[in-house]
């Protein structure tokens, strides 16, 4: 179990600066752990202009290197359990998807165009979260999902 997953790439695209602060450092730590299971790429897009302009930049970034599927992080999205997220990731891996992108909006969230174009929408919380915290929670949950799939002791629920 788990062989071949390392060829899968998880891309995290977010609007904002790549800051050096405790949240970004913690996210980078989980992304490094996650890299034991899958390839991980994180890219920040400039946080300027309207939400619509930011959305255009996000969609353009996705179009330049089209993922097999992608997920918009939005408080209106599905709120799966960790086990359900793990099952979804396992399903994508079983289908042979090579690249899954996760998109996080800026201070004003994602544009309507991004939300409507997204094949799937995921809510890490019903609360509005800053992009750095959303990146941290996403990285931790992706890591947790992979440890669950591998039967490793990190996930205790």
| Residue-by-residue pLDDT tens, the chain, 157 positions | 444 566 899 999 999 877 788 999 999 999 999 999 999 999 999 888 999 999 999 999 999 999 999 999 999 999 999 999 999 999 999 999 999 999 999 989 999 999 999 999 999 999 989 889 999 999 999 999 999 999 998 877 6
C-alpha–C-alpha distance, residues 54 and 59, integer Å: 9
C-alpha–C-alpha distance, residues 78 and 110, integer Å: 15
C-alpha–C-alpha distance, residues 119 and 121, integer Å: 7
List the beta bridge partners of residue 13: 43, 103
Q: Residue 157: its pLDDT value, please? A: 64
C-alpha–C-alpha distance, residues 8 and 10, integer Å: 7
Q: Residue 1: its pLDDT value, please? A: 44
Q: Measuring CA to CA, which residue among 74, 62, 64 is closest to residue 11? A: 62
Q: Residue 64: its pLDDT value, please? A: 96
Could you report how far apart the first and last alpha carbons of the chain are, in Å?
A: 21
List the beta bridge partners of residue 100: 10, 69
């Amino acid at each position: 179990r788990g062989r071949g997953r390392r060829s899968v790439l998880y891309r995290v695209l977010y609007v904002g600066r790549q800051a050096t602060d405790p949240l970004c450092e913690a996210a980078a730590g989980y992304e490094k752990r996650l890299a034991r299971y899958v390839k991980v790429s994180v890219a920040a897009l400039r946080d300027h202009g309207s939400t619509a302009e930011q959305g255009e930049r996000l969609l353009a970034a996705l179009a330049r290197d089209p993922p097999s599927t992608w997920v918009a992080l939005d408080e209106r999205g599905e709120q799966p359990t960790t086990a359900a997220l793990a099952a979804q990731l396992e399903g994508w891996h079983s289908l042979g998807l090579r690249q899954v992108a996760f998109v996080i909006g800026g201070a004003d969230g994602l544009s309507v165009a991004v939300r409507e174009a997204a094949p799937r929408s995921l809510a890490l919380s019903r609360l509005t979260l800053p992009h750095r915290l959303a990146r941290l929670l996403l990285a931790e949950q992706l890591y947790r999902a992979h440890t669950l799939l591998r039967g490793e002791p990190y996930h205790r629920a």
